[in-house]
């Protein structure tokens, strides 16, 4: 899900940074509108660490393996705080683990951050009726799985439309399609993780889910 350096042309990477700046500005604007903008900073810090280490957890899906992303979980539990958290997490993943790159930090933020915000709005639908474990779990699963589906879609479109000239288009397209298929089980896994986390928090500390 991380696009490395050297794959995308300069205009695309610059466009990714421009879009990320706009997304970050809007997110911070929405955060500042809250009664206490600092209230969720400890929760955001904790989930940034979780997001940062998630890429180390690889799941074998023969003939390849995929790693956890947790964009849906970030969006469901953090709302607009998810965007700065994802930017920080992606930066340290690129610097420390070599996942992604600095030139593609912007486009990778869009790939994971935009679906995280969608997950935020999906999870908020649970508030249209009194919260209960089944309802919370359902929208948690939907938020987690939908975020991965959208991330894979954006990721695939970016690569499909920017295959380097020195690479064989048919080979690269086959590889991308294989990668898409490999992420289908991950959609279910991340949906379950988000579902279980949301239900657990509802039972032990429901205040964490309030006001997201």
CB 89 within 8 A of CB 96: no
Whether residue 18 is predicted with pLDDT greater than 90 in this model: the reply is yes
Choice between 153 and 65, residue whose per-residue pLDDT is larger: 153
**CATH assignment of 10-209, among 3.40.1390.10, 3.30.70.580, 3.40.50.2000, 1.10.1760.20:** 1.10.1760.20
pLDDT at 36 over 70: yes
- Looking at residue 180, what is its pLDDT? 83
Got the DSSP string for 163-209? --TTS-HHHHHHHHHHHHHHHHHHHHHHHHHHHHHHHHHHHH-GGGG
All structural domains of the chain with their residue ranges: 10-209
Q: In this structure, what token pair is assigned to residue 188?
A: 């279910």
For residue 117, count CB atoms less than 10 angstroms from its CB and return exposed for 0-12, middle for 13-18, buried for 19 or more.
buried
Q: What is the tens place of the pLDDT at every residue in 163-212?
A: 766 666 677 777 778 888 888 899 999 999 999 999 999 999 888 887 66
pTM passes above 0.75: yes
Q: Give the pLDDT confidence of 92-129 residue by residue, as tens digits.
A: 999 988 888 899 999 999 999 999 999 999 999 998 87
Question: What percentage of the chain reaches a pLDDT higher than 90?
Answer: 62
Segment 153-164 mean pLDDT: 86
At 66, is the secondary structure helix, strand, or coil?
strand
């Amino acid at each position: 899900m991380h696009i490395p350096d050297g794959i995308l042309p300069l205009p695309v990477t610059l466009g990714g940074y421009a879009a990320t700046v706009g997304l970050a500005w809007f997110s911070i604007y929405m955060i500042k509108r809250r009664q206490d903008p600092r209230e969720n900073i400890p929760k955001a810090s904790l989930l940034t660490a979780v997001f940062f280490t998630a890429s180390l957890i690889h799941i074998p899906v023969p003939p390849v393996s995929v790693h956890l992303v947790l964009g849906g979980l970030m969006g469901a539990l953090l709302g607009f705080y998810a965007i700065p958290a994802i930017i920080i997490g992606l930066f340290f993943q690129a610097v420390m683990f070599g996942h992604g790159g600095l030139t593609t930090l912007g486009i990778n933020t869009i790939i994971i951050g935009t679906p995280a915000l969608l997950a935020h709005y999906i999870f908020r639908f649970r508030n249209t009726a009194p919260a209960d474990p089944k309802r919370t779990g359902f929208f948690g699963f939907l938020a987690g799985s939908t975020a991965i589906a959208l991330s894979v879609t954006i990721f695939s479109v970016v690569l499909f439309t920017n295959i380097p000239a020195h690479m064989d288009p048919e080979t690269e397209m086959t590889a991308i399609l294989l990668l898409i298929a490999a992420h289908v089980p991950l959609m279910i896994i991340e949906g379950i993780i988000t579902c279980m986390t949301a239900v657990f928090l509802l039972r032990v500390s429901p205040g964490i889910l309030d006001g997201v």
